[in-house]
Amino acid sequence: MKTSVAQATMFAVAVLIGMLAVGQLNSQARPIEISRLSPTELSTLIETLTARNRELRSGLADIRDQLRQYEISGPQGESALQVSREDLRRITAFAGIAGVDGQGIVMNVDGKLDAIALNDLINELRNAGAEAIAVDDVRVTARSVATEGPRAIELDGVEIGEQFTLRAVGSPDGLLGAMERPGGIISQLKLFIKATIQIRQAESVALPASDVSLLPVVGTPAE
């Protein structure tokens, strides 16, 4: 009778171990013979496998938490990246590295302007809030200064003829009002130069990117 009870107990223990650790037992280099283990060894094995299963369940829970965090942070990361790309696009556009298109004004100039007069026109547009400026196909940047060349005015090394078009992106009303105001730059230029200056508002003003390298020549980034 005792033998039957012992055999039944041994069978139940073997089934329990098989349910808990069939994967672990199958992966052993030397498969364990359950029938050869003593009750103490069986108890130790069960405790070891139970503790191992608890560790595996805890590790699985941690992995699932990390996965949920990745799923949550994914869209947030994409959103932040999109914002950074948009900021970079605006910075490069209005620094002159990329072309721009928007509302503004178009100024047609025909006459003998000197470099000082052209710089005055550009500075007046800047002060009036122009976001981007171009003289013919030359994009005006922070480093652009009109100078007197051997034959004509030069802007960033490009000759500007007596007839040229000055375009600016910005508020059409604000730019036009600043340029045509009584006693403004155009009124002053008419007293000293012989030139015709015609200005009109435009719904779409396309300006090219600068051909000049905008990398600093003298300055270096401060650490």
| Dist CA 139 CA 157 (whole Å) | 12
| Dist CA 9 CA 31 (whole Å) | 21
Q: The pTM is what? A: 0.61
Beta-sheet pairing, 195-207 with 163-169: unpaired
Q: Give me the tens of pLDDT residue by residue for the chain, a chain 223 residues long.
A: 444 444 444 444 444 445 544 444 444 434 455 566 677 766 776 777 777 777 777 777 777 777 777 666 666 656 666 657 777 777 777 788 889 999 999 999 998 889 999 999 999 999 999 999 999 999 998 888 899 999 999 999 999 998 999 999 999 999 999 999 888 888 888 888 888 899 999 999 999 998 887 777 777 777 6
Beta-sheet pairing, 153-155 with 146-148: antiparallel
| Dist CA 199 CA 195 (whole Å) | 13
| Dist CA 7 CA 68 (whole Å) | 48
Token pair for 210: 């600068």
